[in-house]
Amino acid sequence: MTSRTLLQEILSEGGLTVVFQPIMEIDKEKFSIFAMEALSRGPKGSNAERADVMFEYVRRKGKESDVDRACAAAVFKASEALPAGCAISLNVHAATLERDRDWPEFLADVCGRHGLPLNRLILEIVEQQKYTDPERFFQAVDRLRRAGVRVALDDIGLGYSNYRMLIELHPDFFKIDRYFVTGSSQKPNARAAIESIVLLADRLGAQVIAEGIETEEDLNTVRQLGIRMAQGYYLAPPASILNTKQNNQDA
Amino acid sequence: MVWHSCAGQVASRLRCVAPMMSITHPQYRMLVVEDESTALAALKKYFSKQGYRVEYARELEEAEAMIITAKYDVVIADLRLSWSYAVEGLEILRFVRQHSRGTKVVILSAYGTPEIQRSARALGAEAFLQKPTPLPEIADAVKQLLEHA
């Protein structure tokens, strides 16, 4: 008997689950939810339940676009239970924007079906590999921007999320990777890197989101460096929509 | 190095140098790559009972994703993971050598031609065992490799 491949399990009905992690906006001592980042997880009990394994597997299969579409559909369905007006941050592979010609139309269609205005959407571009057709990539981003979608670049400072990408993509949000943020109070070199990213964002008219806030010290450090948006276990761990709703009610 | 095409001879030689596995060893992390459900279940169950932390993959790309996101002490890989004449086990071996320094690799195969064995040796496999090899013999080979790491 031939069992289903992991890809078939991921793409099957109910194969993906979605959790949300808030991106917090900090104004003096007041914290508020700026957006909810949607994080997709593969089938329960499979290796793809670990997001890093799932996306590495999907990249190796060359099926980023199929899985990004399935993730988007699952995310927008789950997002119906979020408070109206809450921005949603959705991860997408750069390869999908480059290779899937109909991605902007697909996104508009699926958002429309779930009553989600595109201006509530932040597209978080995960840049794991060098693009081969930059023209198509930037055309797709432009079309989405014209429709009201905002753009964040993930993993700033690592891999292909480099200066060239920042200049060419001109994202609305820079997401600084946890590599720099977690434990930064004890790492002068990491703080220097964060400082330079904040300065660059300011010059390019972007806002900075610090990922990987795990302690009060991490939070204090990024605030001292001028960052007003942050995300991490110290602020709020990823949670299913039911838990997210309960936490919002309790707050 | 454990290089055998005759499981019986392997077993008798290995038993001389490797007593039965006890569960007092450090908990080694093992990845079993096998597409055949019965064999996979047997390997998982046996090595878990031996005290290993056993994870699994059924496909080449799944195995690669696991290897790149975690560090394994040992990978046991079936040579052939699909119906075709592919030799994914050698691909996994090559991948481990590129991305996971120090990880031991045991290749299991029912199709172990001398040419394939030579390729595995050239790529740096620590052991090549013919299927069917009894589980205790595979365990002895793994133990020997890990103890001499």
Looking at this protein, which amino acid is placed at residue A191?
R
Q: Is the pLDDT of residue B18 over 50?
A: no
Beta-carbon contacts of A220 under 8 Å, excluding residues fewer than 6 positions away, are A185
Write the DSSP symbol of residue A49: G
Pick A56's closest partner by Cβ from B37, B56, B69: B69
Q: What is the pLDDT of residue A28?
A: 80
Confidence of residue A245 (pLDDT cuts 50, 70, 90): low
Q: What is the pLDDT of residue B30?
A: 98
pTM as predicted: 0.85
How much is the mean pLDDT over chain A? 90
B contacts of A3 (beta carbons < 8 Å): 37, 58
Determine whether the interchain pair B58/A60 forms a contact, defined as Cβ–Cβ distance below 8 Å: no
Determine whether the interchain pair A57/B62 forms a contact, defined as Cβ–Cβ distance below 8 Å: yes
Residues 56-95 in B contacting A (C-alpha not used; CB under 8 Å): 56-59, 61-62, 64-66, 68-69
d(CA B38, CA B43): 9
| Residue of chain B whose alpha carbon sits nearest to that of A62 | B61
Determine whether the interchain pair A56/B59 forms a contact, defined as Cβ–Cβ distance below 8 Å: no
Q: Is A208 exposed, middle or buried (0-12, 13-18, 19+ CB in 10 A)?
A: buried
A4 touching chain B per CB within 8 A = no
How much is the mean pLDDT over chain B? 84
Q: Which of A29-33, A205-209, B17-21, B95-99 has the lowest mean pLDDT?
A: B17-21
* A163-175: pLDDT as tens digits: 878 888 899 999 9
Determine whether the interchain pair A60/B64 forms a contact, defined as Cβ–Cβ distance below 8 Å: yes
Q: What is the pLDDT of residue A249?
A: 53
> With pLDDT > 70 as the criterion, what percentage of chain A qualifies?
92
- Cα end-to-end span (Å), chain A: 51
Determine whether the interchain pair B57/A52 forms a contact, defined as Cβ–Cβ distance below 8 Å: no
- Mean pLDDT in residue range B32-43: 94
Gap from B115 CA to chain A (nearest CA, Å): 28
* B85-111: pLDDT as tens digits: 778 999 999 999 999 999 999 999 887
Confidence of residue A83 (pLDDT cuts 50, 70, 90): confident
Gap from B6 CA to chain A (nearest CA, Å): 29
Q: Is the pLDDT of residue B4 over 60?
A: no
d(CA A81, CA A201): 33
Q: Which of A37-51, A229-243, B9-23 has the lowest mean pLDDT?
A: B9-23
ipTM of the assembly? 0.82
Q: Is the pLDDT of residue B1 over 70?
A: no
Q: Is the pLDDT of residue B34 over 90?
A: yes
Q: Is the pLDDT of residue A120 over 80?
A: yes
| Contact status, residue A168 vs residue A134, Cβ threshold 8 Å | yes
Write the DSSP symbol of residue B73: S
Which parts of chain B are beta strand (E)? 2-3, 29-33, 53-57, 74-78, 104-109, 127-130
Beta-carbon contacts of A188 under 8 Å, excluding residues fewer than 6 positions away, are none
Task: Tell me the three state secondary structure of residue B51.
Answer: coil
Looking at this protein, which amino acid is placed at residue B100?
S
Q: What is the pLDDT of residue A27?
A: 87
Q: What is the pLDDT of residue A81?
A: 86
Gap from B95 CA to chain A (nearest CA, Å): 12
Q: Is A143 exposed, middle or buried (0-12, 13-18, 19+ CB in 10 A)?
A: middle
> With pLDDT > 90 as the criterion, what percentage of chain B qualifies?
65
- Mean pLDDT in residue range A63-92: 93
Q: What is the pLDDT of residue A149?
A: 97
Residues 42-61 in A contacting B (C-alpha not used; CB under 8 Å): 47, 50, 52-54, 56-57, 60-61
d(CA B146, CA B149): 5
Please enumerate, as own/partner, the contacts of A108-114 that have beta carbons within 8 Å and a separation of 24 or more.
A108/A147, A110/A72, A110/A73, A110/A76, A111/A76, A113/A76, A114/A76, A114/A77, A114/A79, A114/A80
> With pLDDT > 90 as the criterion, what percentage of chain A qualifies?
77
Residue that has been written with the tokens 């990539």 in this structure: A137
- Mean pLDDT in residue range A103-115: 94
Count the Cβ atoms, other than its own, within 10 Å of residue A165: 20
Gap from A61 CA to chain B (nearest CA, Å): 7
